A and B are shown apart, each in its own frame.
Chain A
Amino acid sequence: MKTLRVTVLLLAAVFFAAPLVASAAFGFSLPGQGFTFEPLQRATGNPAFWQQVGRSVLLAVLTAVIGSVLLMGTLLWLHLRARTLLPLAEGLSVLPFVVPPVALVMGVNLVFRAIYPGFLTSLLSLVPFYVVLTMPLVYRALDSGIRAIDLRTLVDAGTSLGAGRLRLFWEILLPNLRPALLAGGLICVAMVLGEFVLASLLLHNTYPVFLAQVGQDNPRAAAALAFLTLAGTWLLLAGFARTLRSERTRS
């Protein structure tokens, strides 16, 4: 049994590592030249690269901020003032799971081309749809964070000690909910930085769209960028899982 277990894990490790190792080896080398940054430099030397990376970062930050504010505000309100609406809110939050992104674009195109065609040409029009796409995961992260603290008691205690609403939020609730907010924000960032369907079909040149174009004519540069993107995503999410764990054990 023991050898079987370890074999399963080793096979999984080989399968998971193979594309990563191959993309690094393929992307950071040239035939007959060995290790080189040349393919990568040719891609990053393109001014469009930094521009499109910048766009993706902007979208990621805006999505994380707007999504967190909207959901945190709504969830606190529902938990404190309108608990009967919680099941409805939660049910709606998983709705994006049943709508494939490509089907959402179809509907979005039909709606906004008809009522306000200029809206979709703006890069920032992607933000609300990214908030929608990340909602199922962010909602869960924030909701479980709120359920883990004794919200009612914290609010009552704070109020009875004379804290105003703003102070209550900034000095009592926010520090307690920081791990949940971090979790939601990082999921947002990871998803938006990799999002291709909406960006490409609504004709916005973000980083994944750049990567897809590079892959058409420069597979080595695409492999190098793919490796960095996958490794970066892993580090981002794994590093975050670690901070979340240590926050939990401390409190």
Chain B
Amino acid sequence: MTSTPARRRPGPLPLVAVLGALPYFAFLTVFLILPIIVNLVASVRDSSGAWTLEPLLRLREDQYVSAFSNTAMLSLTTTVIGGTLGLALAWAILTTERPRWLRDGILSFSSVASQFAGIPLAFAFVALLGTQGMLTTAVAELTGWNLSESFRLSSFAGLTIVYLYFQVPLMAVLILPALTGLKREWVESAQSLGAGRARHLLDIALPILAPSVGGALLLLFANAFSAYATAYALAGGGANLVAILVGFFVSGNVMVDNSFGAALSTGMIAVVTLAMLARWLLTRRSTRWLS
């Protein structure tokens, strides 16, 4: 084993090269990977430190099943509606030439609106649709119908509307590059081969776009599933969502049972990881055609 290290040939990296990257990997290990691993381990150990599946099995109790299914339903609803509207918005942004100010304004807004989830957005919607909100009072004055009796922002429908405010622009921004990548020549070659508009859309555009659309939808789902601040500001502890429950376990009086709080958060990580993994598998294929 006395051979001199080959210079330009890929092989084992010299130790110095690895050392230079060490701060980055060490940083991530301490502040991200270690917390994840400890969380996963805590969810399969009881308070005495013995291995057990009991905390994870408790997730099957009605209360927690309903939190998970409610979160999944909210995520799914905002993903499907947000995805559809976002796709339509992206198409309109891409194909509209005039009025330019409208298109550019919407595009500029869409690219930042995904950052708008959180406390300020919740209060902006309270100002619009809360019990004293501008739209609520305007509707009451005009028609005498009190909106707040049948609609609450903290309800499922209310949260859906607020979530759409960041899901729609997120979808539009995510799908714009793929829509732009649809090549003009493909329409022309399809037409010269005798395909109509609908045929081109169904047989060419959709199959090429499908992985990107699917990937974007999965990201929207994960985004809604992880959201905490918006729901917290609108519903306080009232929202039956997994993120809110985990928040209770971290801050509240229920901290006594570490392992069950960890199990809840493990469940959350599992759902989001599955969505992102599926997205990765899907989009890996689409980059070939759209680059």
Residues from 210 to 241 in B contacting A, C-beta threshold 8 Å: 222, 225-226, 228-229, 232-233
Interface residues of A in 60-94 (CB under 8 A from B): 70-71, 73-74, 77-78, 81-82, 84-85, 89, 92
Chain A interface bracket (under 10, 10 to 19, 20 to 34, 35 or more): 35 or more
Task: List A residues 109-135 near B (Cβ within 8 Å).
Answer: 109-111, 128-129, 131-132, 135
As a 0/1 sequence over residues 104 to 126 of chain B, the CB contacts with chain A under 8 angstroms (1 = contact) are 01101101110110111111111
A70 touching B23, Cβ below 8 Å? yes
Measured CA separation A108–B246 after assembly (Å): 13
Shortest distance from the beta carbon of A126 to any chain B beta carbon, whole Å: 11
Q: A99 and B38: CB pair below 8 A?
A: no
Q: Is the CB of B96 within 8 A of A108?
A: no
Q: Are A233 and B89 in contact (CB under 8 A)?
A: no
* Minimum Cβ distance to chain A for residue B8 (Å): 12
- A96 CB-CB contact with B under 8 Å: yes
- Stretch of B47-55, B60-68, B127-135, B186-194 on the interface side: B127-135
B127/A27 in contact, CB under 8 A: yes
B105: chain A residues within 8 A (beta carbon): 13
Contact check, A100 vs B268: say whether CB atoms are below 8 A apart: yes
Q: Does B124 lie within 8 Å of A20, measured CB to CB?
A: yes
A201 touches B (CB below 8 Å): yes
Task: Judge whether A25 is part of the interface by a CB distance below 8 angstroms.
Answer: yes
Selected contact of A89 from candidates B21, B34, B258, CB within 8 Å: B21
Do residues B108 and A19 form an inter-chain contact, with CB atoms below 8 A? no
CB contacts (< 8 Å) of A163 on chain B: these are none
Chain A residues closer than 8 Å to B39, beta-carbon distance: 103, 106-107, 110
Q: Is B5 in the interface zone, CB < 8 Å from A?
A: no
**Is the CB–CB distance between A5 and B125 below 8 Å?**
no
A6 to B100, CA, bound (A): 11
Contacts of A95 in B (CB 8 A): 28, 32-33
B181 at the interface (CB under 8 A from A): no
Question: A10, A22, A74, A241: which contacts B128 (Cβ < 8 A)?
Answer: A22
Distance in angstroms between the alpha carbons of A71 and B27 in the assembled complex: 11
Asked whether any CB of chain A lies closer than 8 Å to the CB of B74, the reply is no
Q: Look across to chain A and name the residue whose beta carbon is closest to the beta carbon of B18.
A: A82
* Chain B contacts with A in 42-81, Cβ cutoff 8 A: 42
Distance in Å from the Cβ of B180 to the closest Cβ of chain A?
16
Q: A70-B23, A219-B126, A226-B120 are in contact. Are A111 and B35 (CB under 8 A)?
A: yes
Q: Which of B141-149, B199-207, B247-255, B282-290 contacts A (4 or more CB under 8 A)?
A: B247-255
Q: Are A219 and B123 in contact (CB under 8 A)?
A: yes
In the bound complex, how far is the Cα of B250 from the Cα of A108, in angstroms?
Answer: 10
Mask, A188-222, CB within 8 Å of B = 1, is 00110011110011010000100110010001001
Chain A residues within an 8 Å CB radius of B269: 98-100, 103
Neighbouring A residues of B118 by C-beta, 8 Å: 194-196, 208
A contacts, CB < 8 Å to B: 2, 4-6, 8-10, 12-13, 15-16, 18-23, 25-27, 70-71, 73-74, 77-78, 81-82, 84-85, 89, 92, 95-111, 128-129, 131-132, 135, 190-191, 194-197, 200-201, 203, 208, 211-212, 215, 219, 222-223, 225-227, 229-230, 233-234, 237-238, 241
User: Beyond the given A2-B96, A77-B21, A100-B269, could you list 9 further A-B residue pairs with CB under 8 A, ordered by the A residue number?
Assistant: A9-B89, A15-B165, A99-B272, A100-B228, A100-B268, A103-B268, A196-B229, A212-B233, A215-B123
